[in-house]
Chain A
Amino acid sequence: MARKMNEKMNGNKKRGFISGMSDTNLLLLITVVVFVVMYASAVIFLGSGFLKPQAFFNILNDNASLIILACGMSLVMITGGIDISVGTLTALVCMSCAVHLDFNGGSVLTAVLLALGIGLAFGAVQGFLVAYLEIQPFIVTLAGMFFAKGMTTIVNATQFNVAHEGFQALKATRLYVPGMGSVNKLGNYVPAYVEIGVVVAIVTVILLFMLLRWTKLGRNFYAVGGNAQSANMLGINVKNTKFMAHLLCGLLAGIGGFVYFMHVGSGSPSHAAGAEMNAIAASIIGGTMLTGGVGNIMGTFFGVLSLSTIKNIVSSLGLDEAWWTNITVAAMICLFLVIQSLVLRRKGKSK
């Protein structure tokens, strides 16, 4: 794949296009191309099901929370850290909000505030430990992951569906996308829709894209991830920057958790199991490097889409045994890692 792309590039652009590109943009380009190719081949080989806009919107509906979580993950990864607590944190947020709404007589607004509060609290504590006490992020967030996991069952050990009316109304709200509907077998027009979560996710992506591209804080993330020592010498407050990354990641996990909650409408200790790994996978597929300093929110967005497209392809191929999904996802991560590794190595050589 990498070679094919390089040939294409060299063919119609001036020489040195690839080596002239920043790592971030190069990896983003690969991700977008792969997603388009994958979606196109799904449409061609698996029939028109994928062609309906609603098929695409369903991917968004199902993955709105993952998009938000992956965005937070990308922020932390760009600064050279990692946060593996986001998955269980999502479960904790769901469970807390569910209990709050149904047992403690809370309103939707207070539930949202609760979700944000939990996320911020996690982000602040983890950020403090990572940035100011200089403990490895993997260990800190590992503990955070365990803590959230345990806390979820302490809050409530069993799964239950939320009956709160206001919340049900919110959950059922659908935003219709004009002009994207399709005609079903009976000849009726079915409008295309997205859930509120998708809007939240897209707004998040846009805001974070702007944050990373145009704000000082965003650029500081890249600098700290690229070389923390240099960043310090350049007059950047490295500790504060790392703290902010974790804080934002926590906040986004809170938002993502609530979006997940709106999508499923229940609390359960097994919610969002493995979401942190999906978020990491999406970030990697989207061209974020765990070594830090390289990555792009748009890439992460396409990373999530690619990840779920491949899952959809696998399930519509009739390979419904559960293991196939995991194996293909793993194969895809593997493929992307090797591509990244090869592309960057080739770039290094050409220098």
Chain B
Amino acid sequence: MSTSNKTAAKKGGVISGLLHNQICIPLAALLALVIFNLVMDPSFFEIKMGYSSAGDPVLSGYLITILDNASELVILAIGMTLVTAASGGQDISVGATIAIAGSVVLRVLCGTESRPDELQAPIFVAFLICCLVAMLFGAFNGVLVSYFNIQPMVATLILFTAGRSIAAWINNNELPIIDDAVFGYFGNFIPGIPIPTPIFIAVACMILIALTLKFTTLGLYSQAVGINPHSSRLNGIDPAKVKLITYIILGLCVAVAGFIKVSRFSTINYSVVAKDIEMDAILAVALGGNALSGGKFNMGASILGAYVIQFLTTTLYKFNVVSSALPAYKAVVVIILVVLSAPVVRQKLNEIFKKFNERKTAEKPTDGPNKGAKEAA
């Protein structure tokens, strides 16, 4: 490191510039997790060839598990980011509506039988109906939020409370099982392809949202509406409509996530499926550095945030944390991350960092960044 005062100050500028970039938050978290795992057990990053339950050769390893299991979360994070930006609140009903979407898929594919020999409807019809229903429920939330001006958290509390019950009601509280190899492809492996299908679905969703943001004004509109609905309206944007659209898009995301979930297990348990996933999805948005009060968003950061959360979950599992105790560790990590990224704390850290630089420019290389990483870990 240079010893001159000037370059030190410049370096400080670069670092504080980086600190202000949104994507640095999930990146730093990811880095901390990677370093932690490297130190504790490098074999975490091994990817081997294994065999799927169907006996096909497939890739296996923790990284693959993370990418695979994060798929639903990533898809939800996309919709949640838009909803957060436009309506300044979060949809806490996504877990419950995943149960509904899954239940619909089961109902369409199985009809009234509990274990049909053959599917009662083509898979894509089931998928379409599931999308339609999930979008309808999304629209229900959206109407409450945008046309009745109810705070999103509260409006979605309704489906949060009732969703799993509705899901049970759709199938008369029975748990039909789908016995169809092709249906299982979506949540597991397609024969001959060694990578889990949900990863492809997640990537497809990312591409789709990237294209949507590029070729429509959805991004600009939802941010404008989230920041200032009054002036958005006077510029010809219909804030209610934009909010409604984001909720419907989230509904679509829920449908895809629900479909993957059912396909993974060939059935679902209404009260357990995607439990607490709404919390993870919201955390992903927050970890991405997006203000939960709405406005500007960074989709890439949210998606990265979702992967980081899954990375954390998998890491904790690997270290034999009992699954029911998992939330406690997650909470500690989340609090550390959120505290470190809080503007107040960052400002203080910046000041300390600056003073530190001023005082010790000549003597020693600063250990500021290392210290930060240690704290984050």
Interface, chain A (partner B; CB < 8 A): 82, 129, 132-136, 138-140, 142-151, 153-154, 157, 269, 274, 277, 280-281, 284, 289-291, 321-327, 329-331, 333-334, 337-338, 340-342, 345
Contacts and interface: CB of A to CB of B under 8 A. Distances in A.
A133 B150 contact: no
Given A280-B157, A337-B148, A150 B327 contact: yes
Interface in B148-191: 148-151, 153-155, 157-162, 164-166, 168-169, 173
Nearest to A323: B165
A151 B286 CA distance: 23
Contact of A136 (B159, B292, B331): B292
B325 A138 contact: no
A280 B158 CA distance: 11
A102 B1 CA distance: 60
A149 B161 contact: no
Question: 9 smallest A-B Cβ distances: which pairs?
Answer: A150-B328, A323-B165, A330-B162, A147-B331, A146-B327, A146-B331, A150-B327, A326-B165, A153-B324
A317 to B, nearest CB: 16
Nearest to B321: A150
B121 interface: no
Contacts of B344: 132-134
A284 B161 CA distance: 14
Given A129-B339, A150-B327, A333-B158, 11 more contacts: A142-B282, A143-B334, A144-B331, A148-B328, A149-B328, A154-B328, A321-B173, A323-B162, A323-B169, A330-B157, A330-B162
Nearest to A132: B344
A324 B165 contact: yes
B144 A334 contact: yes
Contacts of B154: 280, 284, 290, 333, 337
Contacts of B328: 146-151, 154
B165 A146 contact: no
Nearest to B167: A323
A133 B326 contact: no
Given A150-B324, A323-B169, A337-B154, A330 B159 contact: yes
B89 to A, nearest CB: 9
B203 interface: no
Interface of B: 90, 144, 148-151, 153-155, 157-162, 164-166, 168-169, 173, 279, 282-283, 286, 292-293, 322, 324-332, 334-335, 338-339, 342-345
B157 A333 contact: yes
A138 B292 contact: yes
B332 A327 contact: no
Given A277-B157, A330-B159, A147 B327 contact: yes
Contacts of A322: 165, 168
B345 A133 contact: yes
A304 B9 CA distance: 59
Contacts of B148: 337-338, 341-342
Given A280-B154, A290-B154, A334-B144, A134 B342 contact: yes
A67 to B, nearest CB: 19
Contacts of B324: 149-150, 153, 157, 269
Given A146-B327, A150-B331, A290 B151 contact: yes
Contacts, number: 142
Contacts of B149: 341, 345
Contacts of A281: 157, 161
Nearest to B328: A150
B279 A150 contact: no
Given A139-B286, A154-B328, A321-B173, A146 B162 contact: no
Contacts of A289: 151
A314 to B, nearest CB: 11
A333 B338 CA distance: 31
A324 B168 CA distance: 10
B90 A326 contact: no
B332 A153 contact: no
A330 B163 CA distance: 9
B94 to A, nearest CB: 14
Contacts of A140: 335, 338
21 contacts: A133-B342, A134-B342, A139-B286, A139-B334, A146-B279, A147-B331, A147-B335, A150-B328, A150-B331, A157-B324, A280-B154, A280-B157, A281-B161, A290-B151, A323-B173, A324-B165, A330-B158, A333-B157, A337-B144, A337-B154, A341-B149
Nearest to A138: B292
A327 B345 CA distance: 43
Nearest to A325: B165
A77 B328 CA distance: 25
Contacts of B335: 129, 140, 143, 147
Contact of A139 (B159, B338, B345): B338
B90 A138 contact: yes
Contacts of B343: 134
A135 B324 CA distance: 26
A251 to B, nearest CB: 20
Nearest to B291: A136
A293 to B, nearest CB: 13
B279 A142 contact: yes
A149 B164 CA distance: 21
Contacts of A143: 331-332, 334-335, 338
Contact of A327 (B151, B166, B292, B331): B166
Contacts of B330: 146, 150
B312 to A, nearest CB: 12
Contacts of A345: 149
Nearest to A330: B162
Contacts of B325: 150-151, 153-154
Contacts of A133: 339, 342, 344-345
B280 to A, nearest CB: 10
B214 to A, nearest CB: 30
Nearest to B343: A134
A179 B118 CA distance: 66
A157 B324 CA distance: 8
A308 to B, nearest CB: 14
A281 B158 CA distance: 9
- Residue among B153, B286, B338 with max Cβ neighbours from chain A (10 Å): B338
Contacts of B326: 150
A290 B150 CA distance: 9
A323 B173 CA distance: 9
B342 A333 contact: no
B344 to A, nearest CB: 5
B88 to A, nearest CB: 11
Contacts of B331: 143-147, 150
